[in-house]
Structure 1
């Protein structure tokens, strides 16, 4: 069932994805649902790139990269050779053949690989040699320009930049990055600690999500990572386990932030916020998800509808992030939607799923 049908189920009318704020999201067990796909793997997948309804890439533990081209009915193991000791936390894909994956960790554990043939062969295009650096996630503005985010080194977040699709990388000067707060870091939980606007459309805007310090912040760049401005958010921090974990921007102005406290059983008040001015200010959700959420994604072509996922379940908003309602209890770490409306989720123990809808009363 495509997202136009799903939108109709959400809105109660046969309209494309522009639900009105007055329409409530479905209650748990309502029309939205994740349809599981057997990955054949036990890896934990925190990296996810939705190319289309039929094609998606995932990246995770034990150096695992999987690719499907048939809507998840089968997954092909396309992991880079010799990568079993690496921890992949992000993947960005341009199509079914071209993808870039990021391995995280201190020193040389942080690496970037690129494939141009659907994972048949891989080239290592970056290996971190600074023992103080730790890279968390990456994002692309278009098929050539992208950045990767690293935790603070000498008091400032570190940015890698590529202008050739991830075939080569350079560290950008730190002068344009504001000083990090004491204890501030990014979370490599869903591949969404750095994002760009509205997919890979050739823009220049990027945002960074942080936590761990006295307050959580979102940093915005309008020049592909050369200079940044920081803004506080209402998502609680004040602890190494709390802050903003995931961001999504549907355009240069409208963004969503999700997070909380990732420790099991800990409360996560005000776990979501929204911005209508490019991240210059943030407003807490009036009815946020009831627990920590690590991933968030706008439904394509929607001005108001988005999904959030975490270890305890999923939520949907149909009013641009002001209110959220749960629709499932499955454990997922990340979510991504393709331009053609295919939405995917991934998580622990090889969990993979594609968004579908149940018939009313079904």
Structure 2
């Protein structure tokens, strides 16, 4: 379940009202894409928003880790210990992989800017590691290596440039949380006293780097599957104490549950998932919460198949994208209904404050949303 057959994200900063207006315009344009009315159609000569693919030169790599810094800068993390970075909008991708990491599975990357980033390798025992760079990937420091054979780390997320968490599947019956207060230089395991007991078979999915997400200075959410119910756990104190809320996303199988979360503030969130097996249906693959994860309502019209990544469009209260191996879906009503707008295969998606939205996945695929 954890390896899928083999986890918000970039640190947000304030922008001017000009960028805010542009972000809202982007949401309106995407809304037009999903309607059939002449009034909502793009004007003549204007191409609707679409994914523009870029060549990474890595057809054998699957990228499940993605951090959108801006329209120009993004980081990718994937199989074979691969880390790529672009600073020119995707035209060129530089391989900045940590030396000696070819045997690792990178599944998450958190980037603060074009020079500072943290990547997470998943796996049992010492395969779970954290690396950080301060010079755009020219050099890396291994800042954490798991030594507990029972731990398996899935995702990492930051509240700001200094404070972040990583989560492991349950150890001794509870999810394990790792904490840093110095930008990932050092890490410590938090006490398990405030963590609810895990359900039998419950774990996280290292599918998109979005099984652990943050909003604001202290709120963090953790997505689960595999148990009798797909749950979302919430902490309002940076991982010390947690509460659990059930979602309507189907579980009760190691391949089913919530795979990705996105919160636009500490109250309003989206969950997507399903059954990652290609031959299995994924009904009720999306849900939304208005109260910080205490309660979840199923989407009235869900994505038609399993989805592994989700993100809100910048500065929008109602528009978001979800991606998976069979396509991209759009909601313009805060998760109540979803509509497929692209059939390309992507595993993860992320947007930056300047409207730079990126997606990545198998066979070295990466794309930027163009308008």
Aligned to 2:218: 204
Structure 2 CA distance, aligned partners of 1:11 and 1:313? 17
Any conservation in 2 of the 1:244–1:258 contact (CA below 8 Å)?
A: yes
1:157 aligns with 2:154: no
- 1:109 aligns to what? 127
Query: Is 1:353 the equivalent of 2:367?
Result: yes
| CA distance 1:12–1:32, shift in 2 (3 Å) | closer
Q: Does 1:325 align with 2:343?
A: no
Matches within 5 A, 1:28-47: 31-41=48-58, 42-47=60-65
- Within 5 A, what are the aligned runs for 1:67-106? 67-106=85-124
* Partner Cα separation in structure 1 for residue 311 and residue 363 of structure 2: 22
Corresponding position of 1:344: 358
Correspondences of 1:253-332 after superposition (within 5 Å): 253-332=267-346
What's the counterpart of residue 16 of structure 1?
A: none
Aligned-residue RMSD, C-alpha: 1.8
Question: Structure 2 CA distance, aligned partners of 1:214 and 1:338?
Answer: 35
1:128 equivalent among 143, 146, 152: 146
Residues 238/125 of structure 1: CA separation in 2 closer, same or farther (3 Å cut): same
Q: CA deviation at 1:269?
A: 0.3
Give the CA deviation at 1:265.
2.1
Pairing 1:137–2:155 present = yes
| Alignment counterpart, residue 249 of structure 1, candidates 263, 275, 297 | 263
- State the distance in 1 between where 2:120 and 2:162 align: 16
Change (3 A) 1:12 1:62: closer
Alignment: residue pair count: 341
Regions of 4+ moved over 4 Å: 2-5, 23-26
Contact 1:50 1:344 in 2 (8 A): yes
Query: How many Å apart are 1:204 and its aligned residue?
Result: 0.0
**Alignment partner of 2:27 out of 7, 15, 33:** 7
User: Normalising by structure 2, what TM-score?
Assistant: 0.89
Helix, strand or coil at the partner of 1:103: strand
1:65 aligns with 2:86: no
Q: Is the 8 A contact 1:32 1:327 kept in 2?
A: no
Structure 2, unpaired ranges of 5+: 1-21, 34-38
CA distance in 1, matches of 2:251, 2:292: 21
Query: TM-score when scaled to structure 1?
Result: 0.92
Cα shift at 1:9: 2.2
Displacement of 1:262 in angstroms is 0.1
CA contact (8 A) 2:331 2:338 kept: yes
Q: What does the per-residue CA deviation read over 1:179-207, in whole Å, with 9 as the maximum and x for residues that have no partner?
A: 0000000000000000001xxx5x10000
Deviation readout 1:69-89 (Å, 9 max, x if unpaired): 000000000000000000000
